[in-house]
Amino acid sequence: MRVSVTGCGYLGAVHAAAMAALGHDVVGVDIDREKVEALVGGVAPFYEPGLPELLRLGIESGRLRFSTDLTEVAGSTVHFVCVGTPQQESSNAADLTHLNAAFQALAGLVAEGDVVVGKSTVPVGTAAQLADDLSRRAPGTTVVWNPEFLREGLAVQDSLHPDRLVYGVPDGPAGEAATEVLDELYAPMLAVETPRMVMDYATAELVKVAANSFLATKISFINAMAELCEVAGGDVTQLADAIGMDERIGRKFLNAGLGFGGGCLPKDIRAFMARAEELHAQPAVSFLKEIDSINMRRRDRMVDLTVEALGGRPLAGARVAILGAAFKPESDDVRDSPALDVAEKLDARWAEVVVTDPRALENARRKAPHLKYAHSAEEAVNGADVVLLLTEWTAYRDLDPQTFGETMRHRRIIDGRNALDPKQWRAAGWAYRALGRP
């Protein structure tokens, strides 16, 4: 099939490459010339394992190309819209400026019978509004909402081997025809019995925000338990292991620590609250306010632990090494990164902060140019009074406590992700501290 992808950021670039890998003829379009030039050359403009190989495969096969000219989408049968929906600067609501602009531009280029597929995360009710507008401007076209469930660091796997496909379609023949089109598009996935669910627009929109809200709730729940463990003398990691054995609960996303960040969970739960308020259903999701609050408290608590590790002395003049700048491992994304936020909080209190990360240094420099940066963990901890592990990269998990930190002033470590073995580090002479553990 001939497919277009409007918006070649994180979601769009991965999705375009995945569609080409499935055998479709794909054109990806974005207004960012620098980004498009990189993609044309087979270079991913961000770090995502497996994406460079997938891009090169698509480009060399002739099935994948990129352009800054939106008119090149004309002639495609299926048009994916993958633009960002960030949080508004003035409120918790989602900013739909780019999404609305993309649909308006497509309206003059799509043809009767085409299917326009929204993949962006949006407030419930958005798809119906966009569909009504598009039907007036481009009669005979159909809007489908097909939410994405990508995990940064595993996006290629999640695109090629999703755990489910969700179609939000209109009632009647138009919805049935659009379903058939998507079934043809995703035929290789359906052939291996990937679950496929067809539903109305509103439910499809809610699937993504409800899933993210649940994950955020689970993470903040265990972090709330970590707060209790700290005052009661319990060990939140053992607590998580025990309750995670209950099959109704499960162990995934029960890793206490610095909390969640990135470009999805924080802004999605805030947008969910904002939309619920618009629909006069705010009490239904009022608990999300506390979920957000618990998450943000973890960052302040990390600063407090740093002060405690230094014996209560002022942070001014203390050299603090930060291991991790990305919001999660296997990513160079620093959007709402808890690690970088803690680094900036410490810097604001006059600590001498040195940040390192295997992949996110350049993005961190652009976002926080006032901080100091090091290219390796060994360089970062040279002369440090304390080291904070804030992004659980495998390289940091595998550090040898016997040899690491020999150039530090004091061998103190705060494990912000509960990623290390306390016994090993203490046996090696480290003063070890973690969130929610004795």
At residue 346, the pLDDT reads 98
Cα(197)–Cα(183) distance, integer angstroms: 11
At residue 155, the pLDDT reads 97
Confidence band for 140, pLDDT divided at 50, 70 and 90: very high
Q: Which residues pair with 78 in a beta bridge?
A: 3, 115
At residue 72, the pLDDT reads 97
Confidence band for 342, pLDDT divided at 50, 70 and 90: very high
Cα(60)–Cα(43) distance, integer angstroms: 13
Q: Does the pLDDT of residue 361 top 90, yes or no?
A: yes
Active site residues: 264
Cut 0.85: pTM above it: yes
Q: How confident is the model over 154-197, as pLDDT tens digits?
A: 999 999 999 999 999 999 999 999 999 999 999 999 999 999 99
Mean per-residue pLDDT, 368-382: 98
Cα(233)–Cα(179) distance, integer angstroms: 55
Burial (CB < 10 A; 0-12, 13-18, 19+), residue 312, is exposed
Same fold yes or no, 2-199 and 236-438: yes
Mean per-residue pLDDT, 194-220: 98
Cα(274)–Cα(209) distance, integer angstroms: 12
Mean per-residue pLDDT, 410-426: 98
Alpha carbon of 64 to those of 4, 61, 154, 183, 268: distances in Å? 10, 7, 21, 21, 31
At residue 262, the pLDDT reads 97
At residue 119, the pLDDT reads 98
At residue 316, the pLDDT reads 96
Strands in 218-351 per DSSP E = 319-323
Q: Say if residues 386 and 318 touch (Cβ distance below 8 Å).
A: yes
Q: Does the pLDDT of residue 438 top 90, yes or no?
A: no
Burial (CB < 10 A; 0-12, 13-18, 19+), residue 248, is exposed
Burial (CB < 10 A; 0-12, 13-18, 19+), residue 296, is middle
CATH architecture of the domain with residue range 2-199: 3-Layer(aba) Sandwich (3.40)
Confidence band for 258, pLDDT divided at 50, 70 and 90: very high
Q: Say if residues 414 and 388 touch (Cβ distance below 8 Å).
A: yes
Q: How confident is the model over 55-73, as pLDDT tens digits?
A: 999 999 999 999 999 999 9
Q: How confident is the model over 396-407, as pLDDT tens digits?
A: 999 999 999 999
Q: How confident is the model over 14-29, as pLDDT tens digits?
A: 999 999 999 999 999 9
Query: Amino acid identity of 420?
Result: L
What the block records as the tokens of 338 is 């808890």
Angle, in degrees to the nearest 10, between helices 51-61 and 10-21: 50
**Reading across the β-sheet that carries 2-6, which strands appear in turn?**
64-67, 25-29, 2-6, 78-81, 115-118, 142-145, 165-168, 196-199
In the chain, where the domains are located = 2-199, 236-438
Tell me the fold of 236-438: Rossmann fold (3.40.50)
